[in-house]
């Protein structure tokens, strides 16, 4: 029984390794295509269109103005105005803010409305519609206000003695006042009321895009190197020495997973948690930037030289960096530091990919057959689909690998961690059974 468990653990090590490579590719794709900013723009645009259909024609322009405002955008490209022929659309995505609070959205919409009213390129109806939307109260808050008002007007059908009885009446009013207070704290205006709904949809949309990339990369990787799950499992089961070598890398692989996935590993299987940029890379490269590029005496506030927090996204780290610079630091200098930091993070992700690849190579498995050459990609159909020496079984094994990799790195991290914790108990039980049999 222990041999089968060890085989499953070794198999999980390989799956986790390749899943981490896919995760790193996802993070690079997300940063390159500006997915966070573009999805936030979609959310603001959709919310404005839903709340006032009259804004539909200009909702994209309004969202762009809001999310590229220098006060809102955390991007180094926020003030970039040149029109670049090839990368123009990408730069527009890179200029977008990756996060915004409801208060900031309201204030920025007010500013955008004023700017549009002063710009003849925009019809006067657009700023008027924005201002009208900003002035609308949340219907749910209005409903609760009406309930409060009605509570102070006892129904005519209630006998005078009952109406005069203050006990139940006071309790009812007190409960309604508490509900109203909670409602007012959470959402007063119509936009604030819809904000959280829109941001939840933004998060779901972003996660779905990354999920699609995970599936695409899983199939490309599995079919590109012809990784057959059936063959791999049999190879591990039939070779104890190889199986042990792979298992010896489980600790290193788990450590790499924690560095790359960060809070994604918090018990959510199946890759369902929102993807992030590797937290350890963000923190390590921020420390490196501060030590090598920031002039501590003239540029850094005390908090920048203290403990570095755990960042979830690249934009969050860049915002922390900018806030930690002294006010007298020129904007161009801050932009240069943020650009350098972004370059360090990209290099750090590549280093992490190399670390994972090195761990896979130490297992001694021939994970990429010798006949697989990148030059053969000029014939993609042949490269991916016409090289199954084992016939249908080989094809199904590769297809199974693609499906398993599509489960995502968090799934394999949790699986490997559970299996490695289970192994000592199984080994102890097996030893006890042998003693009892003797």
Contacts of 127 (CB under 8 A, 6+ apart): 113, 114, 116, 117
Matching residue, tokens 């009605």: 150
CB atoms within 10 A of CB 284: 17
The verdict on pTM exceeding 0.85 is no
Residue-number span of the structural domain to which 162 is assigned: 139-186
What pLDDT shows up at residue 128? Answer: 87
Cα(386)–Cα(318) distance, rounded to whole angstroms? 47
What pLDDT shows up at residue 289? Answer: 94
- Tell me if residue 399 falls in helix, strand or coil: helix
- On whether residue 222 sits in a domain, the answer given is no
Cα(199)–Cα(217) distance, rounded to whole angstroms? 27
Residue 68: closest CA among 33, 94, 104:
94
- On whether residue 284 sits in a domain, the answer given is yes
- On whether residue 73 sits in a domain, the answer given is yes
Matching residue, tokens 């979609």: 42
- On whether residue 156 sits in a domain, the answer given is yes
What pLDDT shows up at residue 141? Answer: 61
- On whether residue 180 sits in a domain, the answer given is yes
Cα(169)–Cα(158) distance, rounded to whole angstroms? 12
Max Cα–Cα distance, the chain, nearest Å: 95
How many residues appear in the chain? Answer: 438
- On whether residue 125 sits in a domain, the answer given is yes
Task: Determine contact, residues 187/255, Cβ cutoff 8 Å.
Answer: no
The count of domains in the chain is: 3
Cα(231)–Cα(213) distance, rounded to whole angstroms? 26
What pLDDT shows up at residue 169? Answer: 56
409 vs 14, 18, 197, 285, 412, CA distance in Å?
11, 8, 28, 23, 5
Task: Determine contact, residues 222/402, Cβ cutoff 8 Å.
Answer: yes
- On whether residue 3 sits in a domain, the answer given is no
- On whether residue 347 sits in a domain, the answer given is yes
What pLDDT shows up at residue 161? Answer: 46
pLDDT in tens, the chain (438 residues): 788 899 999 999 999 999 999 999 998 888 778 888 889 999 999 999 988 888 888 899 899 888 888 777 766 555 555 454 555 566 677 778 878 888 888 888 888 888 888 888 788 888 888 888 887 766 666 666 666 666 656 555 545 544 455 556 556 656 666 665 555 444 456 777 788 888 889 988 988 999 999 999 999 999 888 888 998 999 999 999 999 999 999 999 999 998 888 755 443 333 334 446 788 889 999 999 999 999 988 999 998 998 998 888 887 888 899 889 999 988 788 878 888 898 898 889 889 999 999 999 888 887 766 555 544 555 555 555 556 666 788 889 999 999 999 999 999 999 999 999 998 888 888 888 878 776
Is residue 63 domain-shared with residue 101, that is, in the same domain? yes
């Amino acid at each position: 029984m222990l041999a089968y468990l060890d085989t499953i653990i070794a198999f999980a090590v390989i799956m986790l390794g390749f899943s981490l490579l896919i995760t790193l590719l996802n993070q690079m794709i997300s940063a390159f295509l500006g997915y966070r900013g573009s999805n936030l723009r979609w959310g603001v645009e959709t919310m404005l269109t839903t709340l006032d259909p009259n804004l539909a024609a200009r909702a994209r322009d309004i969202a762009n103005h809001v999310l590229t405002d220098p006060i809102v955008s955390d991007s180094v490209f926020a003030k970039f105005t040149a029109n670049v022929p090839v990368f123009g659309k990408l730069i527009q995505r890179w200029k977008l803010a990756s996060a915004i609070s409801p208060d900031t959205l309201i204030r920025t919409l007010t500013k955008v409305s004023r700017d549009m009213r002063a710009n003849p390129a925009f019809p006067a109806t657009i700023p008027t519609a924005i201002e009208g939307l900003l002035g609308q109260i949340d219907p749910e808050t209005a409903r609760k206000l009406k309930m409060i008002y009605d509570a102070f007007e006892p129904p005519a059908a209630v006998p005078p003695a009952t109406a005069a009885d203050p006990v139940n009446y006071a309790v009812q009013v007190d409960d309604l006042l508490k509900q109203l207070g909670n409602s007012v704290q959470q959402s007063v205006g119509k936009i604030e009321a819809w904000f959280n709904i829109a941001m939840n949809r933004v998060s779901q949309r972003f996660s779905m895009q990354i999920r699609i990339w995970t599936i695409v990369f899983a199939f490309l990787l599995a079919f590109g190197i012809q990784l057959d799950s059936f063959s791999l499992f049999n190879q591990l089961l039939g070779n104890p020495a190889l199986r042990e070598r792979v298992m010896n890398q489980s600790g290193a692989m788990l450590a790499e997973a924690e560095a790359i996935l960060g809070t994604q590993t918090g018990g959510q299987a199946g890759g369902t948690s929102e993807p992030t940029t590797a937290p350890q890379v963000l923190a390590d490269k921020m420390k490196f930037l501060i030590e090598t590029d920031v002039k501590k005496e003239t540029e850094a506030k005390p908090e920048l030289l203290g403990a570095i927090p755990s960042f979830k996204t690249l934009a969050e780290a860049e915002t922390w960096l900018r806030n930690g610079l002294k006010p007298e630091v020129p904007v161009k200098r801050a932009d240069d530091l943020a650009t350098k930091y972004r370059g360090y993070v990209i290099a750090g992700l590549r280093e992490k990919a190399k670390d994972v690849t090195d761990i896979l190579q130490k297992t001694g498995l021939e994970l990429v057959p010798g006949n697989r050459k990148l030059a053969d990609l000029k014939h993609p159909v042949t490269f991916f689909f016409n090289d199954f020496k084992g016939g249908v079984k080989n094809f199904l094994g590769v297809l199974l690998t693609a499906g398993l990799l599509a489960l995502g790195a968090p799934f394999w991290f949790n699986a490997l961690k559970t299996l490695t914790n289970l192994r000592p108990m199984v080994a102890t039980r097996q030893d006890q059974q042998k003693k009892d049999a003797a």
